[in-house]
Amino acid sequence: MKADKIIIAGGSGFLGKALTKTFLQKGIEVIILSRKAIPEDFVKTVVWDGRTIGEWAENLNGSSALINLTGRSVNCRYTERHRAEIIDSRTLSTRVLGKAISQCPSPPRIWLNASTATIYKHSYDHPNDEETGVMDSSPAGRDRFSVEVAKAWEKELYFAHTAKTHKVALRISIVLGLQKGSAYDIMHTLVQRGLGGHMGNGRQVISWIHVDDFCRAVQWILSKPSPANAYNLASPGALTNRNFMEIFRKVSGRSFGLPAPHFLLEIAAFFMRTETELILKSRYVSPGRLLSEGFIFQYPDIESALTNLRNKKVD
Ligand SMILES: NC(=O)c1ccc[n+]([C@@H]2O[C@H](COP(=O)([O-])OP(=O)(O)OC[C@H]3O[C@@H](n4cnc5c(N)ncnc54)[C@H](OP(=O)(O)O)[C@@H]3O)[C@@H](O)[C@H]2O)c1
């Protein structure tokens, strides 16, 4: 990998921490842009507000790569206020980073900006790759807002004037890792409590990637002299929610899991202050580019990924 100083905007969260650890292990300097000073001495944190140019922008000068992971969590009720926070945190951070790069005398060679696999249409039977994927919302997916966010996010990236910096959108699927409050953590708790049955009709496809493969794929893209402008960060092992939960129960040694019908999910989502779209949208995404370029997944199937995480949790 040809990179020695990497700036990670929004790097204080789940994926930022995983990437930071990976880069530091390889001797690469990491600087995190965060809205708050983080008193951790193993990595330098620079304060920014995610929307206006400030002294923080000087850190981009002479850096090798920028990775932007900024974004208010989508795990909430989509009230007007939350909608504005979700979209602004993504678009304004992307816009200001583009501005900072355009003013930088020695800008990073490459800029990876988070996006989401949710940009693709709700689909049960069409695996969306980067070439043939359909980017649209559908009433069945109840995903108009999330697709709008994803499109606006990528538009900010592609519209940024960064002549010397190559831009790449990372269409990230559900990342499975041990982070508290993450998708894996929530599903693990449900399975342990006997609630790990299928959700809704169970036909919706879950696209996912193990956090180690996420970090490896990011390094793979950074190492390419001319990467494509978008990559699906999803394993080739997408599967239905019904199969996903069945394998989760098997790996966890639970023979039974109570299914959650749609109406019950709506009630639960209301009380948990979240949205059912996160569970019920069929995100059928294929890592077409990574596979065609020869990337090898360490965890291509869900059983190997869940077994690895279960063993790490027990350690
Ligand atoms: N994890 C997944 O499975 C997944 C899947 C698809 C897409 N993604 C996308 O990948 C990115 C990183 O995911 P993650 O799981 O690491 O998320 P995360 O743990 O929630 O971290 C996101 C970071 O964004 C910053 N942030 C939060 N709200 C903000 C706001 N209102 N304004 C400005 N900055 C804000 C926070 O940094 P500070 O508080 O330090 O400023 C936070 O550490 C996100 O954009 C997410 O949408 C993640």
When divided into structural domains, the chain yields a total of 1
Does residue 16 fall inside a structural domain?
yes
In the structure encoding, which two tokens stand for residue 307, read together?
């077994």
Distance 307 CA to ligand 1 centre (A): 26
**N-term to C-term CA, the chain:** 31
Does residue 105 fall inside a structural domain?
yes
Does residue 74 fall inside a structural domain?
yes
Alpha-carbon gap, residue 19 to 205, rounded angstroms: 27
CATH code: domain of residue 169: 3.40.50.720
Going by C-alpha positions, the residue among 253, 235, 254, 255 that lies closest to residue 305 is 235
Q: Each residue's pLDDT tens digit in the chain (315 positions)?
A: 445 899 999 999 999 999 999 999 999 999 999 999 877 667 999 999 999 999 999 999 999 999 999 999 999 999 999 999 999 999 999 999 999 999 999 999 999 999 999 999 999 999 999 999 999 998 988 899 999 999 999 999 999 999 999 999 999 999 999 999 999 999 999 999 999 999 999 999 999 999 999 999 999 999 999 999 999 999 999 999 999 999 999 999 999 999 998 888 888 888 888 888 888 999 999 999 999 999 999 999 999 999 999 999 866
Answer whether 251's CB lies under 8 Å from 302's CB.
no
Alpha-carbon gap, residue 264 to 190, rounded angstroms: 14
Residue 314 has what pLDDT? Answer: 67
Does residue 315 fall inside a structural domain?
no
Answer whether 290's CB lies under 8 Å from 129's CB.
no
Does residue 313 fall inside a structural domain?
no
Q: What are the beta bridge partners of residue 205?
A: 240
Alpha-carbon gap, residue 270 to 163, rounded angstroms: 46
- Please state, rounded to an integer, the average pLDDT across all residues of the chain: 95
Residue 50 CB less than 6 A away from ligand 1: yes
**Burial (CB count <10 Å: 0-12, 13-18, 19+), residue 121:** buried
* Domain coverage including residue 267: 5-308
The ligand 1 atom at the shortest distance from the C-alpha of residue 117 is 6
Look-up of token digits 């199969």: 243
Does residue 210 fall inside a structural domain?
yes
CA angle 292, 297, 302 (to 5 degrees): 120
Residue 5 has what pLDDT? Answer: 97
Residue 315 has what pLDDT? Answer: 63
Residue 268 has what pLDDT? Answer: 83
Does residue 314 fall inside a structural domain?
no
- pTM for the model stands at 0.96
* Candidate from 17, 32, 34, 35 with most ligand 1 atoms within 8 A of CB, to mutate: 35
Distance 89 CA to ligand 1 centre (A): 9
Does residue 179 fall inside a structural domain?
yes
Alpha-carbon gap, residue 219 to 215, rounded angstroms: 6
At 22-53, the pLDDT tens digits run 999 999 999 999 999 877 667 999 999 999 99
Q: String of b and e for 144-164 (b: at least 16 CB within 10 Å)?
A: ebbbebbeebbebbeebebee
Number of other CB atoms surrounding residue 271 within 10 Å: 7
